[in-house]
Amino acid sequence: MEVLRRRLEAANAEIRRYETRLFAYERAMLDLRRENAELQALCEQARAGETLPEPTPQPTVPVLEKPELPVIHFPAPARDAGVAQGPLPGEIETLLDTGTPEWEPKTKLDHLSVDIISQLEQLMGT
């Protein structure tokens, strides 16, 4: 149990490091955007004082706008809801043995989480 606790603490520490790095990148992006706005204002002032060509307008993309999620339409439920339409036991084994590739952990955090989950499954007896 102590080993699991230490691994969980290590995984949480790594998550905090990633979050810290993410926040640093976000702050850097805000600073760069602010600097870009200042430079554009200075450029506009320079254009007003001189006869520089006007820049070609670029499409503006809202910074904090997220793309919309796709709408998923599910088929209407069958009118015979009392009758179960599940696969037979033999079909379940066939569905499980289709040969779909399993997910492979790629990062150290993925490996740690897989180890923790497998140890928890062993402790729970599944």
Domain boundaries, given as residue ranges, for the chain? 1-57+111-126
At 14-72, the pLDDT tens digits run 999 999 999 999 999 999 999 999 999 988 888 888 655 566 676 665 556 666 767 77
CB atoms within 10 A of CB 124: 7
What pTM does this model have?
0.34
At 94-108, the pLDDT tens digits run 656 666 567 788 888
At 28-44, the pLDDT tens digits run 999 999 999 999 998 88
Closest CA to 2 of 125, 121, 123: 123
The CA-atom distances, in angstroms, between 19 and each of 13, 52, 69, 97, 112 are 10, 44, 24, 39, 17
